[in-house]
Amino acid sequence: MSVIRQGEIRGYQSGRVVVLSSDVTNEDAYPIVAPIFGRQEDLPPYLIGTAEEDPVKGAIDVARLVYANPDRLGESIGMLTGKSLGRVLDAVERLFSRG
């Protein structure tokens, strides 16, 4: 099994996911992932659109975080850009913040 990195896009079950847990966490625990869907227009706050520079197009659903069995994750498809990963992690923080 290859190293699982934060920001990596991988196949999982019947779709694609982005790994959101840290590289250190991924070494010893099931990674936390969010699904990527094809829709990119009129997105609610919990769906974060990917950027043109990202290897896949779509929207990342931060409201559907799951622990993924690393043995069932497919090979890496690519990495989100730093800007896109930052927007996704900000959305996750807002989702769980008090406010």
Mean pLDDT for the stretch of residues 7-17: 96
Spatial distance between the Cα atoms of 9 and 55, rounded to a whole number of angstroms? 8
Fold held by 8-96: SH3 type barrels. (2.30.30)
Between 53 and 98, where is the model more confident? 53
The full set of domain ranges for the chain reads 8-96
pTM: 0.92
Contacts of 96 (CB under 8 A, 6+ apart): none
pLDDT over 80 at 99, yes or no: no
What tens digit of pLDDT does each residue of 13-66 get?
989 999 999 999 999 999 999 999 987 778 888 899 999 999 999 999 999 999
